[in-house]
């Protein structure tokens, strides 16, 4: 029944372990899911690398029709195709702009009429329209130049983004290598723990087989001894019966002898028979004594065998407890590894999600840029079509005008050649007259006074000159022409002054607009610089806070490791104390009597228990002080108050580890024992060192006896009971 119960307990523990592992594996993503995520990441990275390479090739290429579509997905292929189209169209725009720059809009074409005729002519409406069109085209050229600059800036931004993507790829590859190394370490540790568990299971099975064999041998020997004992008991009973029969025969013979003493007749045959019976009885007594000795020896052997059986059972229980401790330790290790694996998987998933978000954001931004580029492309196409149409119309008009001018020049040349040049002579005369009049106009004021002086001198000399009518008419005509020239000159000067004023006003307006734009841009730059400084300060603060949190986390991990080491040392010290107590109580249990010769060992054990209690109290107090000092310091530095969920999570992990260590050491027991003295009675509550009460009430201290006036018998008895209840918990269930 005991073996059956143990097997059932093993099966239940295995079933519980498999259930917990299956639950954990259900909550945590499996290795296949992780591999799928890694494959998706690798495919995304390969696609981004292809996009970057193709964009570089497109930038380096100089042909217009060079377009490559080598990506696997439709979205990336469309993106690359649109980028290639945009690059080709931009190159076309650049070529058109270069062609437009080559022609000088301020250049005035020379015509034969202007060369021939230098007289001023009236303004033409077509010339005004052409000037307006030229101004519009210049404005459009400036607009396209600005767009070209914007597109070049966008290309530079794309190159910077490519560099950042490459850096992220390098970092991600490094993180993947670190993750692979950690995963290999975890797999090696798992395989090692599995091998250790298999070896421990084999050792336990071998021990169980040895115990079964020894129990079977003992049962066989017991059956043999019982059969021998039964046969010996039968022989003893038969011999006792024979002795009683012999005694009864001797009494009857004695009476007969007394009755027949008077008679002188004695039967010699009866006397010989009695003597032989006496000899036989003596032999039977000797045999009985030998059989009793054998029986006593067999009983002593039985007692020795029982003692050895008890020792074997103790060893078996010790082996079971050691196996249980190792099992719980391995379970604790597996839990810790599972927690670490869960944390690592969460970190990997967060990284994967962040990378996916980054890729989605980049795809969205690229898509938005593509939409904007398409719209700009359509606008550029429409503007270019309008511009080309206007250019074609202007070319046609210019060709027609050139034809008309050429026809007119040919006609004028033919007329001049046929008419012996009268008009040309008149024009030359008019030009000479105009030059002469200009010189006269300059010298009239100066010559007026000289004429008056000469006239006075002539009158004084008596020379009376007569002025003719023809000379007067010629002078009047010259004055009239001079007045007309002055009027024309004043009109031209006024017109040129008006144009100069208009140009100055336009230049001032343009300068004002440019100054306003520069002011706005400077203000925007200042705002952006302030934002950049704030962001850099925030980044520095975040980095400092991160370093503080990492240092605090490392320190807390060290504290947790130190606490676990202290708990393990306490566990092993308690096990050594229990072994010493067992060593002290073994002779008491075997002999069945109390030997008051071990007070020093008990004192040593009690002193060690007191030292362990003091260490536990000190460690608990220091841990509380550290926790109370760490929390406000972190809150004061960073202004961060941890939530209840975070605190619960951290303390929950520590409590699980501590409970696992507690379960390894012993079962929590509370037992009230009374030590009595001649004068007064003192009731003390003894609590096992690893019970939950010591963990909950850290500031409370357990009470231990300090007086030597307690009775040794009761002290030994209580210590023995504690050892039994702590070392063999199933005795408590039996009691």
Specify the pLDDT at position 646: 39
Does position 563 have pLDDT exceeding 80, yes or no?
yes
What is the rounded distance in angstroms from the CA atom of residue 215 to the CA atom of residue 79?
A: 82
Specify the pLDDT at position 603: 65
Higher pLDDT, 223 or 695: 223
Stretch (H or E) spanning 637: helix 599-638
Which range among 45-54, 279-288, 520-529 shows the weakest confidence by mean pLDDT? 45-54
Specify the pLDDT at position 462: 54
Specify the pLDDT at position 658: 35
Domain map (residue ranges) of the chain: 1-64+73-103, 309-456
Stretch 633-648: mean pLDDT: 41
Specify the pLDDT at position 684: 35
Highest mean pLDDT among 349-363, 528-542, 626-640, 711-725: 528-542
Q: Which residues contact 169 (CB under 8 A, 6 or more apart)?
A: 45, 48, 49
Higher pLDDT, 25 or 215: 215
- 574-590 residues labelled b (16+ CB within 10 A) or e (exposed): bbebbeebbebbeebee
Find, among 92, 588, 587, 169, the residue nearest to 377 by Cα. 92
Does position 168 have pLDDT exceeding 70, yes or no?
yes
Q: Which residues pair with 307 in a beta bridge?
A: none
Specify the pLDDT at position 50: 67
**What's the alpha-carbon Rg for the chain, to the nearest Å?**
62
3-class DSSP assignment, residue 542: helix
262 DSSP assignment? S
Per DSSP, the residues of 324-380 read HHHHHHHHHHHHHHHHHHHHHHHHHHHHHHHHHHHHHHHHHHHHHHHHHHHHHHHHH
Higher pLDDT, 696 or 79: 79
Q: In the numeric block, which tokens belong to residue 297?
A: 């020896």
Does position 720 have pLDDT exceeding 60, yes or no?
no
The rounded mean pLDDT for the chain is: 68
Specify the pLDDT at position 211: 80
Taking each continuous run of H as one helix and of E as one strand, the counts in the chain are: 13, 2
524 DSSP assignment? H
Q: Which residues contact 423 (CB under 8 A, 6 or more apart)?
A: 416
Which range among 17-31, 205-219, 631-645 shows the weakest confidence by mean pLDDT? 631-645
Find, among 354, 347, 331, the residue nearest to 24 by Cα. 331
What is the rounded distance in angstroms from the CA atom of residue 93 to the CA atom of residue 100?
A: 10
Dihedral (CA of 605, 606, 612, 615) sign:
negative
Q: What is the pLDDT of residues 379-393, one digit of tens each?
A: 878 887 887 788 788
Per DSSP, the residues of 100-155 read HHHS-TT-----HHHHH--S-----HHHHHHHHHHHHHHHHHHHHHHHHHHHHHHH
Which range among 27-31, 125-129, 620-624, 708-712 shows the weakest confidence by mean pLDDT? 708-712
Which range among 188-197, 305-314, 662-671 shows the weakest confidence by mean pLDDT? 662-671
Stretch 561-589: mean pLDDT: 74
706 DSSP assignment? -
Report residue 578 CA to chain centroid gap. 47
Size of the chain in residues: 735
Q: What is the pLDDT of residues 568-581, one digit of tens each?
A: 777 777 777 777 77
pLDDT band at 527 (very low <50, low <70, confident <90, very high): confident
Stretch 656-671: mean pLDDT: 35
Specify the pLDDT at position 75: 56
Stretch 105-114: mean pLDDT: 42
Specify the pLDDT at position 707: 40
What is the rounded distance in angstroms from the CA atom of residue 52 to the CA atom of residue 171?
A: 17
Torsions phi, psi for 66 (to 5 deg)? -90, 100
Q: Which residues contact 325 (CB under 8 A, 6 or more apart)?
A: 664
Q: What is the pLDDT of residues 178-189, one digit of tens each?
A: 888 888 888 888
Q: In the numeric block, which tokens belong to residue 270?
A: 């009866």
Q: What is the pLDDT of residues 235-261, one digit of tens each?
A: 888 888 888 887 776 555 555 554 555
Higher pLDDT, 376 or 712: 376
Per DSSP, the residues of 458-521 read HHHHT--PPPPHHHHHHHHHHHHHHHHHHHHHHHHHHHHHHHHHHHHHHHHHHHHHHHHHHHHH
Q: What is the pLDDT of residues 391-405, one digit of tens each?
A: 788 778 788 877 877
* Residue 143, CA distances (Å) to 85, 140, 146, 149, 503 in order: 21, 5, 5, 10, 21
Q: What is the pLDDT of residues 282-333, one digit of tens each?
A: 888 888 888 888 888 888 888 888 888 888 888 888 888 888 888 888 888 8
Q: 717-721: which pairs have CB atoms within 8 A and are 24 or more residues apart?
A: 718/673, 718/675, 718/686, 719/581, 719/584, 719/585, 719/602, 719/605, 720/585, 720/588, 720/589, 721/671, 721/673
Q: What is the pLDDT of residues 407-461, one digit of tens each?
A: 766 766 665 555 545 556 666 666 777 777 766 666 666 656 666 666 666 666 5
Find, among 604, 609, 695, 687, the residue nearest to 658 by Cα. 695
Stretch 523-532: mean pLDDT: 84
Stretch (H or E) spanning 686: strand 681-687
Burial of 726 by CB count in 10 Å (0-12 exposed, 13-18 middle, 19+ buried)? Answer: buried
Higher pLDDT, 409 or 194: 194
Report residue 74 CA to chain centroid gap. 31
What is the rounded distance in angstroms from the CA atom of residue 430 to the CA atom of residue 436?
A: 10
Higher pLDDT, 424 or 149: 149
What is the rounded distance in angstroms from the CA atom of residue 503 to the CA atom of residue 224?
A: 137
Q: Please, are residues 642 and 548 in contact by the beta-carbon 8 Å criterion?
A: no
Higher pLDDT, 486 or 543: 543
- 251-276 residues labelled b (16+ CB within 10 A) or e (exposed): eeeeeeeeeeeeeeeeeeeeeeeeee
Question: Which percentage of the chain shows pLDDT scores above 90?
Answer: 0
Q: Which residues contact 168 (CB under 8 A, 6 or more apart)?
A: 355, 358
Specify the pLDDT at position 459: 64
Torsion of CA 536, 537, 541, 544, to 10 degrees: 60
Specify the pLDDT at position 358: 85
What proportions of the chain, in percent to the nearest 5, are helix, strand and coil? 85, 0, 15
Specify the pLDDT at position 725: 53
Q: Please, are residues 333 and 193 in contact by the beta-carbon 8 Å criterion?
A: yes
Stretch 31-47: mean pLDDT: 62
């Amino acid at each position: 029944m005991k073996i059956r119960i143990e097997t059932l307990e093993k099966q239940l523990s295995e079933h519980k372990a498999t259930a917990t592992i299956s639950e954990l594996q259900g909550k945590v993503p499996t290795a296949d899911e992780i591999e799928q995520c890694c494959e998706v990441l690798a495919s995304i990275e390969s696609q981004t690398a292809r996009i970057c390479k193709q964009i570089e090739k497109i930038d380096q290429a100089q042909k217009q029709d060079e377009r490559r579509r080598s990506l696997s997905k439709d979205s990336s292929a469309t993106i690359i195709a649109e980028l290639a189209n945009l690059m080709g169209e931009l190159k076309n725009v650049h070529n058109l702009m270069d062609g437009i720059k080559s022609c000088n809009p301020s250049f005035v074409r020379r015509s034969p009429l202007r060369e021939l005729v230098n007289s001023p002519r009236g303004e033409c409406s077509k010339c005004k329209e052409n000037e307006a069109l030229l101004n519009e085209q210049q404005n459009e050229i400036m607009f396209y130049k600005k767009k070209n600059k914007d597109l070049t800036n966008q290309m530079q931004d794309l190159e910077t983004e490519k560099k950042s993507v490459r850096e992220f790829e390098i970092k991600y590859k490094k993180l993947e290598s670190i993750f692979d190394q950690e995963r290999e370490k975890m797999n090696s540790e798992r395989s090692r723990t599995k091998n250790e568990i298999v070896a421990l299971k084999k050792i336990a099975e071998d021990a169980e087989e040895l115990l079964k064999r020894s129990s079977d041998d003992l049962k066989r020997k017991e059956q043999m001894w019982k059969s021998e004992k039964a046969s010996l008991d039968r022989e003893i009973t038969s011999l006792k019966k024979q002795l009683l029969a012999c005694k009864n025969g001797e009494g009857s013979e004695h009476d007969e002898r007394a009755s027949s003493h008077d008679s002188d007749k004695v039967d010699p045959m009866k006397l010989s028979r009695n003597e032989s019976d006496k000899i036989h009885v003596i032999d039977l007594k000797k045999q009985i004594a030998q059989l009793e000795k054998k029986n006593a020896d067999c009983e002593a052997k039985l007692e020795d065998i029982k003692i050895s059986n008890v020792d074997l059972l103790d060893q078996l229980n010790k082996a079971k407890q050691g196996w249980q401790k190792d099992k719980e330790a391995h379970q604790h290790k597996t839990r810790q590894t599972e927690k670490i694996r869960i944390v690592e998987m969460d970190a990997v998933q967060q990284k994967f999600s962040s990378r996916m978000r980054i890729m989605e954001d980049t795809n969205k931004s690229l898509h938005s840029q593509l939409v904007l580029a398409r719209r700009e492309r359509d606008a550029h196409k429409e503007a270019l079509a309008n511009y080309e149409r206007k250019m074609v119309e202007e070319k046609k008009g210019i060709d027609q005008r050139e034809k008309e001018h050429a026809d007119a020049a040919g006609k004028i040349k033919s007329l001049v050649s046929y008419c012996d040049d009268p008009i040309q002579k008149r024009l030359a005369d008019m030009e000479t007259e105009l030059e002469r009049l200009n010189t006269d106009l300059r010298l009239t004021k100066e010559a007026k006074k000289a004429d008056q002086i000469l006239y006075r001198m002539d009158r004084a000399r008596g020379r009376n000159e007569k002025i003719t009518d023809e000379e007067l008419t010629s002078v009047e005509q010259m004055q009239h022409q001079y007045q007309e020239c002055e009027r024309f000159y004043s009109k031209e000067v006024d017109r040129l002054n008006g144009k100069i004023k208009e140009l100055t006003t336009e230049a001032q307006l343009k300068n004002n607009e440019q100054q306003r734009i520069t002011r706005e841009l400077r203000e925007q730059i200042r705002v952006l610089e302030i934002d950049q400084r704030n962001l850099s300060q925030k980044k520095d603060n975040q980095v400092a806070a991160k370093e503080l949190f990492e240092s605090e986390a490392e320190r807390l991990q060290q504290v947790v490791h130190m606490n676990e080491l202290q708990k393990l040392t306490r566990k092993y010290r308690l096990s050594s104390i229990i072994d010493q107590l067992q060593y002290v109580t073994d002779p008491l249990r075997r002999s069945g009597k109390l030997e008051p010769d071990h007070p020093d060992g008990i004192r040593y054990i009690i002193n060690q228990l007191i030292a362990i209690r003091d260490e536990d109290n000190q460690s608990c107090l220091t841990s509380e002080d550290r926790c109370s000092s760490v929390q406000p310091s972190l809150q004061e530095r960073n202004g961060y108050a941890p939530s209840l969920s975070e605190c619960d999570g951290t303390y929950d992990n520590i409590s699980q580890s501590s409970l696992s260590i507690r379960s390894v050491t012993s079962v929590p027991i509370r037992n009230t024992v009374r030590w009595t003295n001649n004068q007064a009675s003192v009731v003390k509550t003894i609590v096992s060192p690893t019970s939950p009460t010591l963990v909950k009430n850290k500031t409370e201290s357990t009470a231990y006896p300090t007086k030597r006036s307690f009775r040794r018998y009761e002290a030994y008895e209580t210590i023995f009971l504690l050892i039994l209840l702590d070392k063999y918990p199933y005795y408590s269930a039996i009691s």
